[in-house]
Structure 1
Amino acid sequence: MLRVANSIIQNAIRNPIQCERGLQTTAVNLKVQSGRYKVTQKRDFPLTYEMANPPHYIAHRKSWNSWNTSNLADGLRSAETTIEDIFIRRFMTGTWHSLVCSEVIIKRQHNHIRVAAIIRQGVPARKMYFLIGYCEELLSSWLQCPVTLELQTVADKKDVIFKYI
């Protein structure tokens, strides 16, 4: 053992460039950064209430974006439920193009799916009613269960801004 250590030291003395190895240590970083938004220089980045609260306030100040029981222990269809939720969110933001002002909340109760969102009043009422029926019918046929949209409307997208950072 001592011979090995001596040979390593002698090699380091002869060729210091080849034997440059070191141990780097840093302080423990206990800050949690995911799900937080950085403050901009001009403080002009708008945040909704859902976005303004950091992730550790889920269940205290804010709620979950998906309400289901498939993630419990021995829950059935957890992967399928997650994929369906992603599909529903993308379908809603694509159908209501540039009209969705908030997060799309999905609530599952037994065999019934309720989708809630805040929509900007950017289209006439007749077209809005058509889009509601269109979304409910297509989602019901694709997901093989009744789907209900619970939409609230606001006059302008600035009405849902909670604060600027």
Structure 2
Amino acid sequence: MNTAAELFYSHGINATGIDTIIAQAGVAKGSMYHHFPSKEALIAAYLHEEADAWLERVRAVDDTSAAPADRVAQLFSALADQVDAGKFHGCPFTNAAIECPDMPDVQAAIVRYRRVLHLHIADLLSGVGGEPLVANVTVIYDGALTSAKLTGVAGGVREIAEFVRRLVSSQAQAQA
């Protein structure tokens, strides 16, 4: 799975053939198809693992004792750190949505990630601003991912982190 994940993420899903994955992973074709009966099943499994890994990464940097504004800004800062690391190829779920629009299992994995993302942002906001703010921050996060993919620069994402911090702070003050 690790080989497929690395190839899908760095080269693209459609550009990565099963034969390439099998060769680079050093597994037998029969073994591969025993675990993943189709490329769609492999892609869906990759995305499920990515969703779990994403949540683990963002939870690792979440300071649960901080104010909601700081917690949500940290989500964006974690993305900026990933871009700074030099191996950012965009959001795997957005990439898959674009490359695999007609694969139901892949689309289901994307929907699952979107729920995980939404719930995590709602948790970070801890009730500040309600559902409209959760939806807006989610869209802003999507935009930050796209901007980082297109520019390869983390500076804009760091600016967005500060914007979101101010946005959430103002919502919290308005509710107080």
Check whether TM > 0.5: no
Q: TM-score, normalised by structure 1?
A: 0.25
Tell me the TM-score normalised to structure 2 length.
0.23
Larger proportion of helix: 2
